[in-house]
Amino acid sequence: MKKIMICCTFLSLLFCVGLFGKEEIDDLAMVMAVGVDKAENGEIWVTAQVVRPADARGDAGVGGTEGDPIWTATGEGKTIFEAIRNLARFSSRRIYWGHNAIIVISEEVARDGIVDVIDFFTRNNELRMRTWIVVTEKKANEVVAVKTGLEVIPGRSLDRLFRYSPIVAEAPRTDVMSLSASYIGEHVHPYLAMVRLRSRGVDPENPKEFGSIPQIELSGIAVFRDDQMVGRLNPRESRGFLWFVEDVGNAIIPLSCPDEEGPVSVELRDNRFQLTPNYKNGKVSFIATVETVTDLVELGCPTELEHSEVMEDLESDVAAYIKKDIEVMLEKVQKEFKVDAIKLGRAFQAKYPQYWNDLKDDWDEIFPEIEVKVNVKVELNNPQLLENPTRKGKD
C-alpha cells in the first residue's frame, strides 16, 4: 500500500512542471468598455477602453503618475474576434475581458444584426454575463472614448449609470444574459437600452460655457426583431415599455397644478403591474393593470387648497399620464414595429397553454391587432415633510 501511495505522490509531481495558463495581472490590458461599430468597408470595428492602472489609483485617481486613467484603441477585422485580435498588434498587454462593464453597439451594427455580438460575448469565458449591453444612435467608439460621470474610469461610470437607472426609469437594464435569453427564447424579441452623448457637463475652468462637456445619458430603448433593430422608443415610451418587462423604479411624473399655473412632481414609490390575458371567441386581448403608490415631491404653486384636495385632484392626472405612457408605447410597438418585445405571447402561453399551440405560428400576425386595455390605479397620500402647501404668509 505504502509503495503505491509513494508512486502516486511521485506521479503527481510529474504534472507539477509549471503553471499552465497562468496570467500575471500586470500582463493584462483590462477592458472596461467596448464599442462595436461598422467600418466603411463593411468590416467590424472594435473599440476598447482599457484602464491604465498606474494612473487610475484610488477613487479620485490620486497617487498615480501624470496621465490619462484610460487608454482607448480600436481594431478592425472581418469578425469581432479578428478585430479584437488585431488590437494585440499594438497593445503592449493581453486584452482581458473579465472586468468589462459595458458593450456599446452602434445603431448601424444593430440594424444589420447582432447575432455575432451575442454569440461572441456569451461564448467568451472571460466576460461576465451581467455586462451591460446598449445601443447608441451614432458611433460606439465616441461613447467608449468619452470621459463621463464621476468615476475615474468612464467604464465604471457607465456601470453605475445602469445600476442606478431605475430612479429615472427611462431605459431598461439590459445585460448580456437578458439579451441572450430574449434572443434564444421562443416568441419574444430582444430590446436594449439606448445611450447618447449630450453636452451636459460643466467645465469648471470656463463655467460660462454651460453644458459644454459631453456626457453619456440614457435615451430610450432599441427594439429588435430577432437580432435586427427595427426601431427605437423615446424616454416616455420607454417608461410605458418598462412596465411590461421589468420593475419600474422611482420614476418622476411631471404635471401641472390642478387649478393654477405651476409645476408639480409626483414620484412613483411602490408599483405593481399585472398583465391578464383573455381569450374569448377566438380573440386574444389583455388587461394591463398598474397600481402605484406615489409621493408628492414638488408643488410649485401657492395654492389655497389643502394637501388632501390637491392630491385627490392629482391622482387622476397621474393615472392619465401613466396610461398615456403605455398607450403611446403600445401604438408604436404593435402598429409600427409589429414585434412582441413586451412578452404578451409569453403571458398568453402561461395562462392558455392549450390554445397557444394553435396560435403560436401566427403570433406575429396576431400581435399588432391585439387589444390591450390599460387600467391605472394611483394612490397619492404622502406630501412628505409639509403639512400645508408652500404659500406666502402675507396678505
Partner 1 sequence: MKSQISNAMLLAIIINIVYAKAIGVTQGIIARQAGGDMWIVTIFSTLFGLLIMSLTVLIIKRTPEKNILEQTKLLVGKWGEKLIALLMFTFFLGAYGGIMITVVYHLMDYFLPEVPTYIFVALVTIVGVYGIMKGVEVIARLAVLGVFSIIVLNILLLLGSLDYFEIESFLPVLRNGFFNAVEVTKHHNADWAMATLMVAIILPMVKQKEKWMKYSTKALILGGGFILMWPILEVGVLSPEVAGQYIVACMQMARSAEIGLFVHRYELIMVIFFAISALIQVMMCLLCASISAKHIIGGNNLNFLLIPVAVILGVFGYWVVNDHIRAMDLLTYYWPRVAMPITFAVPIIVFLLGFIFKKKLTKGNLDAPS
Nearest CB to partner 1, comparing residues 238 and 349: 349
Report CA-CA distances (Å) from 320 to 46, 228, 378. Answer: 44, 33, 10
Considering the complex, what minimum distance in angstroms separates the CB of residue 174 from partner 1? 13
Considering the complex, what minimum distance in angstroms separates the CB of residue 380 from partner 1? 29
Nearest CB to partner 1, comparing residues 20 and 90: 20
**End-to-end CA, the chain:** 103
Considering the complex, what minimum distance in angstroms separates the CB of residue 52 from partner 1? 21
Contact at 8 Å (CB) between 213 and 202?
yes
Nearest CB to partner 1, comparing residues 52 and 351: 351
What distance in Å separates the CA atoms of residue 251 and residue 322, rounded to the nearest whole number? 11
Contact at 8 Å (CB) between 36 and 135?
no
Nearest CB to partner 1, comparing residues 324 and 351: 351
Considering the complex, what minimum distance in angstroms separates the CB of residue 72 from partner 1? 24
Report CA-CA distances (Å) from 164 to 32, 88, 160, 250, 344. Answer: 18, 34, 6, 10, 27
Considering the complex, what minimum distance in angstroms separates the CB of residue 292 from partner 1? 20
Considering the complex, what minimum distance in angstroms separates the CB of residue 290 from partner 1? 17
Place of cell 448601424: 108
Nearest CB to partner 1, comparing residues 98 and 211: 98
Nearest CB to partner 1, comparing residues 168 and 177: 177
Number of Cβ atoms within 10 Å of the Cβ of 205: 6
The DSSP 8-state label assigned to residue 65 in this structure reads P
Considering the complex, what minimum distance in angstroms separates the CB of residue 45 from partner 1? 27
Closest to 294 measured CA to CA, from 376, 383, 375: 383
Considering the complex, what minimum distance in angstroms separates the CB of residue 152 from partner 1? 15
Q: Which stretches does DSSP call E strand in 257-307? A: 263-280, 283-299
What distance in Å separates the CA atoms of residue 300 and residue 256, rounded to the nearest whole number? 9
Beta-carbon contacts of residue 214 (< 8 Å; ≥ 6 apart)? 146, 148, 197, 198, 199, 200, 201
Contact at 8 Å (CB) between 213 and 203?
yes
Nearest CB to partner 1, comparing residues 133 and 311: 133
The count of residues in the chain is 395
The DSSP 8-state label assigned to residue 384 in this structure reads T
Binding residues for partner 1 (CB under 8 A): 1, 4-5, 8, 11-12, 15, 20-21, 98, 122, 125, 128-130, 163, 177, 180-181, 184-186, 346-347, 349-351, 353, 356
Place of cell 385627490: 312
Q: Which three cell numbers stand for residue 256?
A: 401641472
Place of cell 449591453: 133
